[in-house]
Amino acid sequence: MRDLLFTSAVCIANIAACIVSVPARAQLQVTPATTRATVSWATVLRKSVTTPTLQVVVNPLLRPSSPISHRAFAALSHLGANYVRFVPWLPYPRLAVAELKPPANGKTYWNFSLIDPMVKAFMKATKGRPVIMNFSTVPEWMFTTPSPVAYPKDPNQVTWNYEQGTELTDTSLNTIADYYARLVSWYTRGGFKDEYGHWHHSGYHYHFAWWEVLNEVDAEHHMNVQEYSRWYDAITAAIHKVSPNTKFVGIALAGTSNWNPDDLGWFSYFIKHRHHARGIPINMISYHFYASPPANSPAAKWPGIVFKQADGFLEHVQEIQNVRRQFNPSVQTDIDEIGTMMPNDNGAAEVKSLLGPSSYWNLSGAMFAYLFGNLAAQGIQIAGESQLIGYPSQFPSVSMVNWQTGVPNARFRVLELLHDNFRPGDEIVRSTTSNPNVYVQGFVTPNGARKVLLVNKRNRPVAISLSHAAGGTEEWVDEVTASSRPSYHTLKSDVVQLGGLAVSVVTLARG
C-alpha cells in the first residue's frame, strides 16, 4: 500500500485533534484537460428512497472494557444514521449466543451478561432511530454434529470452528423458533419464560423496527433457498408473537460478491408468497458485496480493479431488481454489507500498512459513494457500509475506524458526508460526465437545494467544470482530509478540483 501524498495534515492517534483539525486543501497540479460535468436539473429520473448507513458487527473491541468502544459508539451516535445493522456474529460465541448449552433436567443456560452491555451501548447510540437487528449465530447444540461443539472460555478469543452441522436436531423448527422468540422477548418485553416455564427478567423494552433472519445463509450452514424459507417462516412467526410491530429482512445472501447464476434463483423463489406459510411477511430482501483486488496485484491498479468489480455488481443489482419488480414489487431491498477487502486481509504487512495514512481507505470510501449514487438511481432502500470495527482476526480492511485509537477513517467520513447531504425524498436528475473516471450525480432536495455528488475513481487529481458552481459550497473527503471530518469551503469558480480518490458534494448557490 502507498502512503498518502500529504501526511503532515493527518492526525491519527489523537481523536480530539482529528475532530477540530481541518487540513487545508493541497495545491493540485491539474492537467489542461478539464472534465465536463453536465447536470440536467429539469430532467428528474426518480425520487430517491435510499438511506446511507452501516453495520456494526460485534467483537471484543465493542465491549465496555475495550479502550476504543466508547469512541466508536460516540462516532455512531454523532452520525445519526437510520437502519444501522447490529450483528452479534459467530467468531465470538460467548458474545453472540445467549444459550450456549441445551436445557436439561429442569435447568437452562440462558446468559446475556456479556451480550447486554453491547446491545445497550448500541441502542443508546441509535436512540430514537430504526435499527436492523440480526443475532445471526444459531446455538450449535441445535445441530446434528458428531460431537458437541466446543467454544473458547475466553469471550475475547476468536474461533472459526464454532459453526458446524447442516441439519437441525428438531426438524419441526420449534426449538430454533422459540430461541429467537425468547431472545427478542428479552429485549422488547422485559424478559421471557424459559423452556421449563421459569420467568427471566431483563427490564428491557426496546423497539426493534427490523429483524434480519440469519446471515449469508448460502455460506453459513450451506442452506438452499427452500430450506431457508422454512426457517424464515418459523422464526418470523415466532418473533411476531412477541414483537408484532417488527418487520423482517430476509436472505442476507453472500453470493453476490462472487456472482453465480444460481443466486438469482434465491430471490425469485424467496419473494413469492406461495413459497411461504400463510400470513408470513416478506418486507425486505438483503444481500452483500465486497470488492477485492487479486492477491499480488499492485496497489496502483487497485482503483481500476475495484471500480470494475463495482460495475459488475451494479449489473447484478439490476437483475435482482428486475426479478423483484416481476414477482413482488412491494418488497424493499437492503444491501447491508458494502465494502472492500484487501488481498491477504489478515497478513501482517497488510495490517501494518492500514494503521498509518493509507489511500486504501479513500479508495474504499470512494467506491461506497459511487455505489450509493448508483443504488439510489436503481431505487434501493438501504445502502449499508461494512463495518464499524474490523481488526486483526476479523477483517481489518473493512473497518471504518482505527482499531487502535477509535478514530474514524476516510470510509466513515465518506458515509458522514453522504448522510449529511442526501436523504430519501431527494430528486435524482440526469447527470453526465466527459470522463469515465469521474462519477457525477445531481440531486435536488425537498427544500430545493441543488447538490452534486462527485467521485474521483482514480488516484490522481482532476479538474471538473460544473456550471454555476461559483459561489456555492463544497464539502469533501480525500487523502488530505483522511480521518478528519469532511472539509468545507466556498467555491470561487465553476471549476472544482478533486484530489485522488476524492468524494465531494457541491451545493450550488443558484440555478
- So what's the pLDDT on residue 263? 82
Predicted confidence band of residue 32 (pLDDT cuts 50, 70, 90): very low
| pLDDT value of residue 511 | 53
pLDDT band at 25; cut points 50, 70, 90: low
Write down the residue that cell numbers 447464476 correspond to: 261
Task: Kindly tell me if the per-residue pLDDT of 86 is higher than 70.
Answer: yes
Q: What is the mean pLDDT of the chain?
A: 92
Nearest to 388 by CA among 21, 74, 116: 74
Sequence-distant (≥ 6) Cβ neighbours of residue 189 within 8 angstroms: 205, 242, 243
Give pairs for 5-9: CB < 8 Å, separation 24+.
5/479, 5/500, 6/479, 6/480, 7/357, 9/480, 9/481, 9/482, 9/484
pLDDT at 392 over 70: yes
pLDDT band at 219 (very low <50, low <70, confident <90, very high): confident
CA max distance for the chain: 80
Q: In the CATH scheme, what is the code of domain 49-424?
A: 3.20.20.80
**Residue 380 pLDDT greater than 60, yes or no:** yes
In the predicted model, what is the mean pLDDT of residues 443-462?
A: 97
Pick the residue with more confidence: 422 or 17? 422
Query: What is the Cα–Cα distance from 502 to 486, expressed in whole angstroms?
Result: 11
| pLDDT score recorded for residue 221 | 83
pTM (2 decimals)?
Answer: 0.93
User: What are the residues facing 386 on neighbouring strands?
Assistant: 55
pLDDT at 8 over 80: no
Q: Contact at 8 Å (CB) between 343 and 292?
A: yes
**Which pLDDT value is given to residue 11?**
34
Q: Report in angstroms the alpha-carbon separations of 407 from 117, 345, 484.
A: 21, 20, 9
Mean of pLDDT values over 6-21: 32
Only one residue has cell 476516510, namely: 410
SS3 476: strand
Q: What's the CATH number for 15-45+429-507?
A: 2.60.40.1180
User: How many CB atoms are closer than 10 A to CB 170?
Assistant: 12
Higher pLDDT, 242 or 222: 242
**b/e string for 4-40 if b means 16 or more Cβ within 10 A?**
bebeebbbbeebeebbeebbebeebeeeeebbebebe
pLDDT of 220 reads 87
352 falls in which pLDDT band (50, 70, 90)? Answer: confident
- Over 60: is that where the pLDDT of 7 sits? no
Cell numbers representing residue 124 in the block = 443508546
Angle at 249 between CA 130 and CA 386, to 5 degrees: 70
- 85-99: average pLDDT: 97
| Residue 258 predicted with pLDDT over 90 | no
Contact partners, residue 181, CB within 8 Å, separation at least 6: 192, 238, 239, 241, 242
Range list of H helices, 381-450: 410-421
334/5: higher pLDDT: 334
DSSP result, 290-313:
EE-PPTT--GGGHHHHHHHHHHHH
pLDDT band at 9 (very low <50, low <70, confident <90, very high): very low
The proportion of the chain whose per-residue pLDDT surpasses 90, expressed as a percent, equals: 86
Predicted confidence at residue 69, as pLDDT, reads 97
Residue 46 has pLDDT above 90, yes or no: yes
Q: What is the pLDDT of residues 239-251, one digit of tens each?
A: 999 999 999 999 9
Ramachandran region, residue 442 (left: φ > 0; alpha: ψ -120 to 50; beta: rest) = beta
Whether pLDDT at 10 is above 90: no
Give 279-328 pLDDT, tens digit per residue: 999 999 999 999 999 998 999 999 999 999 999 999 999 999 999 999 99
**30 φ, ψ (degrees, to nearest 5):** -90, 135
Average the pLDDT over 398-422 and give the result.
97
Asked if residue 169 lies in contact with residue 144, where contact means CB atoms within 8 angstroms, the answer is yes
Poorest-confidence range of 22-26, 433-437, 444-448, 475-479?
22-26
Domain boundaries, the chain: 15-45+429-507, 49-424
Give the DSSP letter of residue 134. -
